[in-house]
Amino acid sequence: MAKDEFPGWHGTTIIGVKKDGEVVIAGDGQVSLGQTVIKGTARKVRRLSPGGFDVVAGFAGSTADAFTLLERLEAKLESHPGQLARASVELAKDWRTDKYLQKLEAMLIVTDGNELLIITGAGDVLEPEHNVAAIGSGGNYALAAARGMMGTDKNAEAIARDAMAIAADICVYTNGNLTVESIKK
């Protein structure tokens, strides 16, 4: 099979919801290769604690690439303790300019409980509108569902879980086996 014919690892859904002083990041557990589910219980949401500073990160894309980025983010947070936005911008700069990092195929959603950010390989550090961020193959479904629930009395975790359930019903590369992490500030 030629490289351009290889189906590749595909799919995931990660959502971040910020509401009433709480930020929740949730991710599904499905890993697919082409049209085959390889694993249904992957953990794509992690808690990082560089220097005692709590950050939650969720990733979509290549797992090895995402772990490389998470390690780099931890190093940036150690250099800039308590400054998630600055550490994220420094990571995005490196990602954009370093020839090795440029080949990485992943995206991150990160939070320290105050800020909710999306970090991309294009050098973007985005603070989402409406306090909801989503990435991955089912990201747009989860984003739309969560935005529709933001005006309800549901808390951040309930919105994230319900939005992920909707995405899992629509996106074949997303399952309902969730990892959920939250931070309150």
Catalytic residue annotation: 12
- Within 8 A by CB and 6+ apart from 5, the residues are none
Token pair 């509108």: residue: 129
CA 49 to chain centre: 17
Q: In the numeric block, which tokens belong to residue 52? A: 């005692």
Phi-psi region of 9 (alpha: psi -120 to 50; beta: other; left: phi over 0): beta
- Within 8 A by CB and 6+ apart from 8, the residues are 33, 34
DSSP notation for 33-78: ETTEEEES----EEEE-GGG--EEEEEEE-HHHHHHHHHHHHHHHH
